[in-house]
């Protein structure tokens, strides 16, 4: 049963990679850094070829996660090549994402096993079910956001604090020190907001006597200084700037200078009224229900996720808010929610109260599944740039001397470097990915802010992946393909009236079923066009 639950967690996250294989602009730095490490290596002569020197982003990000991901993925790529599973550079992107997904899923499985040890197998099963029926965490854990790299050590620290010895009321000092070290490393290297979670856990550990103040200071200094040394050494090298501490630079840029406000400001309650409900779905009310359930001192839930509530409260003081800043709290909220779910489903079914409790849980679970289905469906068609470039590669596979310009929207919605399958660089260690002849090499251009007129005037450009509707009728160009993206969901508002009046029954029960199935339909619209030069 335990292995089956672990397999379910891993399978759920992996399926999301295949359902939505493309990536968006917020994932591009780490994805392209991983691409460059795989393709060029990390020697000094390779660095001038790296993508981040051309598309650097608003603030520098650490290379540590990307380098580790590339190196860990390499033996997996060799195995895939051995079994003839590599057919293009895009397959490398899928495998890299699957490797990241696997590591995140393994740590979620560790948390599940700690739940089983502390709260029992029933609660452990509920944790797996709730985690797998949510959308955001399974969907994003295989995406190369810095937050998803940070999620791994954050969840390992949660596992260390949760995995108690039998009858223990608090974690061992050794596990607390390990958790604090991991959180310190994460805040220094990957995401500075984790420092707030670190502060909450340190405070709780001091108040519960899990660690002394002297030991806390010593642990923090050793972990902090060694992490700073590592990120400055590695990232100064890759960015060719000395000294460079990316997360400190980002903290200065976004918080001290207040630049994050340029991406929008939200009211203080946003995390609790918008982001957490989307991230957690039914786990949110279940988690808070666990606070009032009867329990022994060892099984009290509030000690599990109280630091995570304080973390969210701390982040609520900042103006700019995004769901990814608080994604780290999802597993521990799910632990608390699993306690409530297990309690609801173990009430005696012979009583009205027991049947109501089961009805509440299965209703919440059905809501989870429905929301996840809708979000997954919409996300599958929300990467038109990736679909456009993949379609273009297939459409002109037999053509030589191709020079395609990729519009901003296409580059931001999936047209990654891994999809530039017919242009260098090619990994030297996988000859099967090299073209039969170098004369077939294409040119992919992502130069920004070019007008349609300037693109037309540049005779080197043979094709466009354009986002402007005017391109469809531009002189000198011929549309050869249109790519659709997600527009919204359409509700059949007339259905309720037809059901009340009985008109929907006029065509029989089959018609009722068709109307119910089609009551919510997804709408798509043209977003990108493939054009080739006509004259």
> Which pLDDT belongs to residue 492?
67
- Express each pLDDT in 403-454 by its tens digit: 999 999 999 999 999 999 888 888 877 777 776 555 568 999 988 888 888 8
Highest mean pLDDT among 244-258, 335-349, 480-494, 499-513: 335-349
Q: What would the two tokens of residue 302 be?
A: 């509030």
Beta strand segments in 282-433, E: 403-406
> Which pLDDT belongs to residue 441?
81
Angle of CA points 524, 525, 527, to nearest 5°: 125
- Per DSSP bridges, beta strands 463-466 and 477-491 are unpaired
Q: The dihedral of CA 461, 462, 463, 467: what is its sign? A: positive
What's the pTM?
Answer: 0.92
Average per-residue pLDDT for the chain: 88
- Express each pLDDT in 288-347 by its tens digit: 998 888 765 556 777 788 899 999 999 998 888 889 999 999 999 999 999 999 999 998
- Express each pLDDT in 442-481 by its tens digit: 999 988 888 888 888 888 889 999 988 888 888 888 999 8
Angle of CA points 69, 73, 75, to nearest 5°: 145
Q: How many whole angstroms separate alpha carbon 412 and alpha carbon 154?
A: 28
Query: What is the 3 state secondary structure string of 220-273?
Result: HHHHHHHHHHHHHHHHHHHHCCCCCCHHHHHHHHHHHCCHHHHHCCCCCCHHHH
Q: Counting beta carbons within 10 angstroms of the beta carbon of residue 50, is it exposed (0 to 12), middle (13 to 18) or buried (19 or more)?
A: buried
Angle of CA points 325, 327, 332, to nearest 5°: 135
Q: How confident is the model at residue 53 (pLDDT cuts 50, 70, 90)?
A: confident
Place of tokens 């050793």: 222
């Amino acid at each position: 049963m335990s292995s089956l639950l672990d397999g379910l967690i891993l399978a759920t996250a992996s399926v999301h990679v295949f359902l939505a294989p493309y990536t968006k602009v917020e994932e591009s730095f780490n994805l392209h850094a991983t691409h460059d490490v795989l393709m060029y290596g990390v020697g000094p002569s390779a660095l001038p070829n790296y993508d981040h020197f051309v598309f650097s982003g608003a603030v520098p990000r650490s290379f540590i996660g990307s380098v580790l991901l590339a190196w860990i993925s390499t033996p997996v790529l060799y195995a895939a090549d051995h079994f003839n599973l590599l057919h293009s550079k895009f397959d490398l992107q899928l495998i890299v994402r699957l490797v990241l997904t696997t590591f995140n899923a393994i740590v979620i499985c560790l948390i599940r096993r700690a739940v089983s040890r502390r709260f029992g197998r029933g609660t452990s099963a509920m944790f797996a079910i709730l985690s797998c029926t949510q959308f955001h965490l399974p969907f994003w854990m295989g995406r190369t956001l810095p937050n998803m790299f940070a999620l791994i050590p954050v969840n390992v620290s949660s596992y260390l604090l949760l995995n108690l010895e039998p009858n223990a009321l608090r974690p061992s000092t050794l596990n607390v020190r390990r958790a604090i070290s991991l959180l310190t490393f994460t805040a220094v290297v990957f995401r500075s907001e984790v420092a707030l979670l670190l502060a909450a856990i340190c405070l709780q550990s001091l108040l519960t006597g899990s660690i002394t103040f002297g030991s806390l200071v010593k642990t923090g200094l050793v972990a902090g200084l060694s992490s700073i040394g590592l990120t400055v050494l590695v990232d100064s090298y890759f960015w060719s700037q000395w000294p460079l501490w990316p997360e400190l630079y980002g903290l200065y840029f976004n918080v001290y200078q207040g630049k994050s406000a340029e991406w929008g400001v939200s009211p203080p309650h946003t995390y609790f009224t918008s982001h957490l409900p989307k991230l957690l779905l039914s786990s949110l009310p279940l988690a808070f229900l666990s606070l009032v359930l009867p329990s022994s001192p060892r099984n009290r839930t509030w000690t599990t996720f109280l630091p995570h509530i304080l973390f969210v409260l701390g982040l609520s003081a900042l103006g700019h808010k995004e769901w990814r800043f608080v994604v780290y709290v999802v597993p521990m909220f799910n632990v608390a929610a699993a306690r409530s779910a297990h309690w609801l489903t173990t009430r005696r079914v012979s009583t009205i109260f027991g049947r109501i409790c089961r009805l509440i849980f299965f209703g919440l679970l059905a809501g989870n599944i429905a929301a996840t289905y809708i979000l997954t469906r919409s996300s599958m068609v929300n990467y038109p740039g990736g679909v456009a470039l993949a379609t273009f590669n297939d459409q002109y596979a037999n053509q030589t001397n191709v020079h395609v310009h990729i519009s901003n929207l296409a580059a931001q919605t999936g047209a990654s470097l891994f999809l530039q399958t017919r242009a260098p660089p090619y990994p030297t260690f996988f000859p099967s990915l090299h073209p039969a002849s170098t004369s077939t090499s294409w040119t992919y251009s992502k130069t920004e802010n070019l007008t349609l007129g300037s693109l037309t005037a540049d005779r080197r450009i043979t094709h466009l992946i354009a986002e402007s509707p005017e391109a469809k009728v531009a002189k000198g160009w011929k549309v050869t393909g249109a790519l659709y993206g997600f527009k919204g969901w359409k509700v059949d508002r007339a259905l309720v009236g037809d059901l009340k009046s009985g008109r929907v029954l006029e065509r029989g029960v089959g018609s009722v079923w068709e109307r119910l199935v089609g009551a919510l339909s997804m709408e798509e619209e043209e977003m990108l066009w493939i054009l080739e030069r006509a004259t």
